[in-house]
Chains A and B, each alone.
Chain A
């Protein structure tokens, strides 16, 4: 009897040994992926993708904003060139900005996560920089679509859509928090080379923050003048960008075999269906702009610089004739060179923003000085030297020389030239100010009827998967059409 008890107890002991689970957490922890990380690798993604790699550049700039703003036009007759919507493209831009789709690492997702990790790792410098960059990215997003998920994005499974007004208020606050964090004491490391833009330089990020605040302030100046003035007052003493060394830009990698690391403008140029717009080339030609030979290449056919008109009538048969396009200039070397650079915010824009603020009397700076500085900056940026005084001659032309009556048009128009191929920012400014003025297109499509687009339409996947919140935003903002204006657009 006792021996059987002994055996049974022994067996029970063996059996309980089998069921202990204390090693399970260790066994199940992911071995080739980390559960915690430094923010650097995430920040690198956020700045690289945030500077628009080829797919986003192709859909958002080349197809959409560059055509709206008559920087380039695609051969053949596309709907976007007629201000008609492409719901697929607009959905794609949204989906790839927020959520990770195939190779398209979503910059909004990555920057939000970077901030969380910075907080976890308790690094205020990195956090500050990340908050500033996040505001840059989200400003672009809300200016594209209007009310968007912001406070609840990446947090809730069905994020609500915040009003653009509340987003702008928060953007300003986030940048200020970021600037403050950059002043933190203590030996905190910055990003170093993981920061592909500024190498972790706190001063440059501070300057960038100020320029961004200026941009924001001017954007909302029409609808929220008090808030706008507050922001401008807070930054009016700078520092802002002082030279092209301060440019916030992305250097592309000519050695990589992966197109997501190559110059996006070059990648899309390979399709050979982009031409520089007539409006841009004519403006450059009409004012003997030394940038002409940099912005465009001589046409295949006869070596002339000739721009292709945007929005032509699709019923015009020649539009489909492939040989026809040899008459028009392809993009210039500064845009398509292998080791090219694309700009997020550059020195010229910083000068023009300050010039506009002064022009509106919001600051006491000298408008003409800043305006001229901006033009020079834009020239030098693309390698135009001042040999034979060509830049000064350009500035002294009657139409170009600043005068306060049409000062705003001049400033915005020069900014438009300086922003060439960055159609998105130029588009936001045209919506706000109406400048530069474009001719009515030859042809109007059935949906938008030739009306200038004021936003992009919401993503189809969001409509399907987050319908209630989307509907709420529409009820607030107006129809989900391209003609609905965003909050700050009361022009």
Chain B
């Protein structure tokens, strides 16, 4: 029989569709350029027609049908969708035994964020993006299915067009003393160049990446040129406004001073209530004592971002190219700070002959940032200033920040030895700058040696070059020495990938087998030179040569990973799919005795709905997935973990020191490993309009690498060991539905939900607790055996069994201590218990509306800002009881009683029991109460659960009649907003996504930058 295969909606022929006679072996044929085919078939034979992106269709040959047209419908749910999996191998989604989820391109196209990773929050079940509140281009912590490494990296691997790229931030930055977030390398990527983003979540999917695959893999492909007769040009421009909208709740009732008494330079805000009377302020001006509003809100500005993107592509059947370029220019909400970025990208593919294809790509990025904010407790962090600055100080009085002798004019009157910086000094004089240049280049050859044998050879490089400078002006008020300091550093990081893959396939009647085998080599190298100088020779010349004392340090580090791998896919009759992978890694970071490790996975996919004829009609498609895998992780190792290193260092009176290592090396260290199990179900109902995908997983990560404390008589503080294991267990549910699908109106909704439970099964024999990070307020993030690896630990209130406060001799609440005097208790955990994302796309004729909501529940965050602000009295919560306390004190003084003799008649009510168990009910002085509470960590831990409106965008495709004469193919306008607001949050005056660091010690907020929302508009034209 013969026929033509056509597309149902466009009626155009489908070349390359596959027709098989299921009752005749070896009978597969494909349609030609006109969609025509011819196949041997007898009456009653079952014929199946399939084509990628379309629903397969099968029918039985009837005597009457000899030549006919078959229309295939596009598969809205992409049942036969091809997904890019590990190592760039494309597989049909239905054959996968593990969970994979893709992100819609549309999500990335509204370029509101400097870092496109932010947009992925809520898009993929199990993917947790925690942004930091560190200004534009700040880093993110990306976790897939929980954290599986105590001290090592748990960031997933990023692969762009088959190339493993640099994705680590490169350094830890956030600490209570400051630091600068230089953003992670992912932020340099232009989202408009991205075609697909696929998340490979569990070890079943990533086992082919071996020791790189423990934390999941995010596979990104960039846009390529397409065949077609004309050149396609796409130009877009957007303008975005960023506005800070979550500010601390400041109080505006009481001014500067302590114990209700004003003094000019007092650092508290527990002074008298505003009454409009004249007073002399810290600048010796006589002004009315009245409230000052919006100091912090006036300091930050609404920031504009503009971005332009240009793309031209074209090609014919043999060669295709795509050239794109973008410019991005973003102001920061902090004055005098901005980021500019430019990218250039060229993709070129060609068929050298009918067997050999060549693909190449080169991208260049340049980013220039000026004056990134200083973070955390750094005195140059303007947010810190606003939390601590007395409420009666006017912002406008601070704009003159320097006097004739070059000293600071700051609100505590000091010119040295103070941590109270004038924020205008900070942003104008103590500036920083960084430039990042990045180039990613790759090429691959794809050769069909025989129809059944294919070879791919791929090579690629990712090189990042960073130059950073930081200035601290002389006479900066918080430095112990008044001289200027300067640091200038350059670092080059590069990754090079070489891959070779040989693939063979063979089909029989009911079986298909394909086998790929290959090898790869990945080289990483880092070279850096950091210089710092003290004391300017000539004023205002900020180059390293112009400093009196200069210290320079070089950094050199190299790594190589060699691997051999193999993957076998077998399918039986479209019903059962089995995938086995094996990979052996040789890693140079491991000691010689433990250098070679192997990783494997076996994945089974059973299409239940194809497996028996009487399967219920209501369920169009049902699949069961099963996966078991082992992957590894050796990313936290450095050479110092293995070798006893001597490091030269400056010494005494010009005699150099040779320093010994502080941490004992371990020459038998092994990589961390994860053993993972995953079970999944995938159902499609109602003619594919509802898709339910569920996964259950358990990942056991053992042989954890970390440093454990050791007796000082060994010479070391700590020792590298392999010990311990972490278990992450969870469930993911993805619901996709085409709620409405008519020719004019479509409404597509996706709900992503995931829950992850993290448990530390063991640390090491004598170590039940490992501290991962913390801050001076006593709060720390810890891993504890039989608990989790992200515990927030700190002091808590001492209470009796009935939950009443046990008060001390001053009737203040106190902290609990155990028999050994320890005051560390578990106060919560950082990572959320579950996350839900909600995504809606609506299309009506030429209008598209997209909106998404993301949410998290169950985590906690500690706010050092809230503790500090309460202690000094700048926050709203400290107002309670102040007036009544003052009245009570006035009464006491009038009657001539001492504090001990008087029973306060007003203040903050406190009831509890005293140390003997007797009931106590008193009023406390608010200043003392809040000062005490700032030392109880539990009082400053907030629930970090939230529900947030993540994205709303409305696009309108201009109807053709508006531009028919203008040579335009299409044009659209869109209006969009990101991070628009929180429908629910429990934090006070800061966003729940305000962690200081993207590393392990998340969960601690310290003077976080205000959260911003972005609103913008974009015009896009296709020529």
Contact = CB atoms under 8 A, between A and B. Distances in A.
Interface string A16-28: 1111110111011
Contacts of A251: 653
A170 interface: no
Nearest to A113: B660
B473 to A, nearest CB: 18
Contacts of A33: 639-640, 643, 645-647
A21 B586 contact: yes
Nearest to B712: A99
A118 interface: no
A18 B521 CA distance: 6
Contact of B713 (A11, A99, A196): A99
Given A18-B498, A99-B712, A101-B712, A44 B588 contact: no
Interface in A72-129: 94-96, 98-101, 105-106, 108-110, 112-113
A191 to B, nearest CB: 10
A380 interface: no
A100 B717 CA distance: 6
B715 A154 contact: yes
Contact of B658 (A37, A149, A153, A193): A37
A18 B520 contact: yes
A7 interface: yes
A96 B713 CA distance: 10
Given A29-B639, A41-B656, A110-B660, A157 B710 contact: yes
Interface stretch (A62-70, A383-391, A459-467): A459-467
Interface stretch (B33-41, B62-70, B552-560, B873-881): B552-560
A257 interface: yes
B558 A27 contact: yes
Contact of A461 (B560, B640, B643, B711): B711
A4 B711 CA distance: 63
B588 A21 contact: yes
B640 A159 contact: no
A11 B455 contact: yes
A193 B450 CA distance: 74
Contacts of B766: 465
B564 interface: yes
B657 A28 contact: no
Contacts of A29: 639, 643
B140 interface: no
B562 interface: yes
Nearest to B447: A7
A1 B595 CA distance: 38
Interface residues of A, number: 67
Interface in B958-996: none
B539 interface: no
Contact of A42 (B560, B658, B716): B658
A23 B481 CA distance: 48
B713 A149 contact: yes
A38 to B, nearest CB: 8
Contacts of B554: 32
Contacts of A31: 556-558, 639
A154 B652 contact: no
Contact of B500 (A11, A25, A99, A157): A11
B210 to A, nearest CB: 13
Interface string B100-122: 00000000000000000000000
A30 B640 contact: yes
A167 interface: no
B592 interface: yes
A34 B715 contact: no
Contacts of B658: 37-38, 40-42, 44-45
B642 A106 contact: no
Interface string B639-667: 11011111110011111111111100000
Contacts of A322: none
B655 A193 contact: yes
B802 interface: no
B562 A18 contact: yes
A466 B699 CA distance: 34
Contact of A48 (B555, B588, B652, B661): B652
Contacts of B558: 27-28, 31
B709 interface: yes
B920 interface: no
A253 interface: yes
B52 interface: no
Interface residues on B, range: 35 or more
Nearest to B517: A15
A437 interface: no
Contact of A23 (B560, B660, B711, B713): B560
A261 interface: yes
B714 interface: yes
A159 B766 CA distance: 17
B652 A4 contact: no
A143 to B, nearest CB: 17
Contacts of B449: 4, 7
Contacts of A112: 715
B589 interface: yes
A341 interface: no
Q: Taking each of A16, A21, A30, A153, which has the highest tally of chain B beta carbons within 10 Å of its own beta carbon?
A: A30
A44 B652 contact: yes
A112 B660 CA distance: 12
A63 to B, nearest CB: 20
B655 A153 contact: no
A149 B710 CA distance: 14
A278 B660 CA distance: 43
B453 interface: yes
B477 to A, nearest CB: 18
A14 B655 contact: no
B648 to A, nearest CB: 7
B556 A19 contact: no
Contacts of B655: 44, 193-194, 196
Contact of B651 (A14, A23, A41): A41
Interface in B513-563: 517-521, 534, 553-560, 562-563
Nearest to B716: A99
A11 to B, nearest CB: 5
A360 B318 CA distance: 106
Interface string B690-732: 0000000000000000000111111111010000000000000
A484 to B, nearest CB: 20
Contacts of B716: 99-100
B519 A32 contact: no
B356 interface: no
Nearest to A47: B652
A400 interface: no
Contacts of B586: 19, 21, 24
B713 A98 contact: yes
Contacts of A261: 652-653
B651 A45 contact: yes
B590 to A, nearest CB: 8
Nearest to A32: B556
Given A40-B658, A44-B655, A113-B660, A159 B588 contact: no
B562 A41 contact: no
Nearest to A260: B652
Contact of B653 (A94, A99, A153, A196): A196
12 contacts: A4-B450, A15-B564, A21-B586, A30-B640, A41-B656, A44-B651, A100-B660, A100-B661, A105-B657, A112-B715, A154-B713, A461-B711
Interface of A: 4, 7-8, 11, 14-21, 23-25, 27-38, 40-42, 44-45, 48, 94-96, 98-101, 105-106, 108-110, 112-113, 149, 153-154, 156-159, 193-194, 196, 251, 253, 256-257, 261, 459, 461-462, 465-466
The 9 closest A-B pairs by CB, nearest first: A41-B658, A99-B712, A33-B645, A31-B556, A18-B519, A109-B715, A466-B711, A465-B711, A30-B639
Given A21-B588, A157-B714, 7 more contacts: A14-B519, A31-B639, A34-B647, A41-B648, A44-B651, A98-B715, A108-B715
